[in-house]
Amino acid sequence: MPSIVASYIYTLVALTAVSALLLYSLNSYAYTLRNTAEADQLQSLLNGVAAKANEVLTLVATTNSSLTVYLSLPTSIGNQYYWIRMRNDSSTAWVEGSFGEIFEDKTDLQVVIPCKATLSGHFVSTRGQAMLQGYLNGSTPQLNLASAGGLT
């Protein structure tokens, strides 16, 4: 009789271990799936901002005027806040972004803007509406990304 009780206990321990592994695997898969979807949404948002930035730069350069465009961006993606920053170097201009409330040296996602311009500014999703301000500085198009309340 004691060997039958011991086998029941071993079976219960084994089922508990297998159940814990299955729950951990399912939880990990759901977490990965959610993070992938959120990263895809941020990438789509960056693509939209880059397209609008390219449009503003083209209009500013062809009409020799200044232009301000307000962007309706979500305050969060999933449960996470995000930030967007515009930058350029001597040969390329790009829009980059990541999740979190503060800027970090590493950037998760980046979209290149295919025109020569000087880009600056950043937007944090907790600060309200975003705004793109485009103008000419001599012959170089300039584009600033800011919160609608003023340049940040």
Among 66-70, 95-99, 112-116, the range scoring the smallest mean pLDDT is: 112-116
**Domain-embedded: residue 11:** yes
At residue 1, the pLDDT reads: 45
**Domain-embedded: residue 47:** yes
Identify the band that residue 2 occupies on the pLDDT scale cut at 50, 70 and 90: low
Residue 27, CB half-sphere, CA atoms under 13 Å: how many? 6
**Domain-embedded: residue 45:** yes
**Domain-embedded: residue 28:** yes
**Domain-embedded: residue 18:** yes
Tokens of 86: 């515009």
Q: Is the pLDDT of residue 94 over 60?
A: yes
pLDDT mean across residues, the chain = 87
Q: What is the pLDDT of residues 8-43, one digit of tens each?
A: 888 999 999 999 999 999 999 888 888 888 999 999
Q: Are 133 and 66 in contact (CB under 8 A)?
A: yes
Identify the band that residue 101 occupies on the pLDDT scale cut at 50, 70 and 90: low
**Domain-embedded: residue 69:** yes
Tokens of 73: 């961006």
DSSP helix/strand/coil, 92? coil
Q: Are 84 and 52 in contact (CB under 8 A)?
A: no
Domain extent for 63: 2-147
At residue 116, the pLDDT reads: 83
Average pLDDT over residues 43-61: 93
Q: What is the pLDDT of residues 113-127, one digit of tens each?
A: 888 889 999 998 888
**Domain-embedded: residue 152:** no
Tokens of 104: 């970090």
> Residue 46 is inside which H or E element, if any?
helix 2-63
**Domain-embedded: residue 7:** yes
At residue 151, the pLDDT reads: 47
Give the total number of structural domains in the chain.
1
Of the chain, the percentage scoring pLDDT greater than 70 comes to: 92
At residue 149, the pLDDT reads: 62
